Structure 1
Amino acid sequence: MQKKEFVNYVIFGVLTTLVNIVCYALLTKVFQIDYKWATTIAWIVSVLFAFVTNKLYVFQSKQKSTASILKEFISFMFFRGLSYVLDIASMIVLVEWLGWNDLIAKVIANGIVIIVNYFASKYIIFQTNHSKEV
């Protein structure tokens, strides 16, 4: 892993996590939305933010054709969908089963998700060895 890539991943990972947690907190604390719905909405907002920042700044994907970008986006959404399942399952276990504070549980769930997402993005979605357009 290149140092610049790692630094960018950490920076944009933190920003994505902040987008997720701030969105979640606003939805649950200000708008009084159930934590499951809030987790889902926060996930959608943060995934869209993450796709753009990962593509452009972290992995610097050079894919520009519509087909290539669509392939990256679908792959990104698939793996983020898997991480959503991990996120919501973690929240249910930590909040409902173990009785933890929902914001603490959200931070822990996001830590797990960040690790899983990095490996999916690095080795499957935005492979840096793409040298040709699709």
Structure 2
Amino acid sequence: MNKSKHREIMRYLIIGVLTTVVYFLVRFSVFSLVQSGLLSVVVAQIAAILFAFATNKWFVFQNQAKDFQELCHQFVLFCLARGFVFLLDIGITLLTVEWYSAFFISIMRLEQLDYTTGLFTLPFLKPYIGNPITLNAFIFALVTQILAIMINYVLSKYLIFKKEYN
């Protein structure tokens, strides 16, 4: 792998982590306000998509649109590509947080953890992992985001921000 590709992947991973941070902050802030897994996913996905488009376009792939029409075309493609991950996120959330959370909490034995010690007591983490319900939601949100980073890199590089000479 040449240095240019290596740098691109490193930039993508940095932006992927930052996008994940944006996603988690928005998702769990909304969740703490409204206690709705689906609404928190929708709002977090919108925030993450807007952040990811701008940072991937200009920082990761260093892509300059020729005109406003090309920029709009890229944004629509980006949103459509991210739609797959959005649907994946909603599906995983429905199954693991909304419909069968008790099952997943039980098989992962999350109800047996001591939420009064260690990481669970840190003020900045407690809202996200401080009880079995939020920890279950956090675990599956993390799984989804790891999948999202991998899928979105391929879609962005080879579909949305592809170089003309590729």
TM norm structure 2: 0.73
Q: CA deviation at 1:106?
A: 0.7
> Would you say how many aligned residue pairs link Structure 1 and Structure 2?
130
Q: Is the 8 A contact 1:91 1:109 kept in 2?
A: no
Q: CA deviation at 1:81?
A: 1.1
Q: Is the 8 A contact 1:59 1:122 kept in 2?
A: yes
Matched, 1:103 2:106: no
| Counterparts of residues 65-76 of structure 1 (less than 5 Å) | 65-76=67-78
Larger relative contact order (Cα-Cα within 8 Å, sequence gap ≥ 6): 1
Q: 1:8 pairs with 11, 14, 28, which one?
A: 11
Q: Is the 8 A contact 1:51 1:76 kept in 2?
A: yes
TM norm structure 1: 0.90
Q: Which residue of 2 aligns with 1:19?
A: 22
Gap regions ≥5 residues in structure 2? 106-135
Q: Which residue of 1 aligns with 2:160?
A: 125
Larger radius of gyration: 2
Q: Provide Cα deviations, 1:11-68, integer angstroms capped at 9, x if missing partner.
A: 0000000000011111112x13401000000000010000000000001112230111
> RMSD of aligned C-alpha atoms?
1.6
4+ residue stretches of structure 1 with deviation over 6 A?
none
For 1:99, what is the secondary structure of its paired residue?
Answer: helix
* 91 and 127 in structure 1: CA distance in 2 versus 1, 3 angstrom threshold: same
Q: 1:53 pairs with 52, 55, 73, which one?
A: 55
Q: Which residue of 2 aligns with 1:77?
A: 79
